[in-house]
Chains A and B, each alone.
Chain A
Amino acid sequence: MAVDGDLKARFEASALPLMHHVYTAAFYLTRNRSEAEDLLQETYLRAYRFFHRFTPGTNVKAWLLTILYNVLRNRYRHRLAEQRRFDFAPVAQAYERIAASRDSGGGFGDAVFRLLVDGEIERALVNLPHDFRAVVLLVDVHELSYAEAAAALGCPVGTIRSRLSRARRLLQVALHDYAREHGLLNI
Chain B
Amino acid sequence: MDCDTYHELIVADIDGTLSPRERKSVRMHLDACPVCRNARVLEAEFAAHLRRGPRLVEAPQAVQDRLRAAIGSATRAPPPRRRR
A binding-site residues for B, Cβ under 8 Å:
1, 4, 7-8, 11-12, 16, 19-21, 23-24, 27-28, 36-37, 40-41, 44-45, 48-49, 51-52, 92, 95-96, 98-100, 102-103, 108-110, 113-114, 118, 121-122, 125, 136, 139-141, 145-146, 161-162, 164-165, 168-169, 171-172
Contacts and interface: CB of A to CB of B under 8 A. Distances in A.
A147 B6 CA distance: 20
A161 B76 contact: no
Interface of B: 3-4, 7-12, 15, 17, 34-36, 38-39, 41-43, 45-51, 53-60, 63-64, 66-68, 70-71, 74-77
Q: Is the interface of B mostly helix, strand, loop or mixed?
A: helix
B43 to A, nearest CB: 6
A121 B77 contact: no
B57 A27 contact: yes
B58 A122 contact: no
A162 B70 CA distance: 39
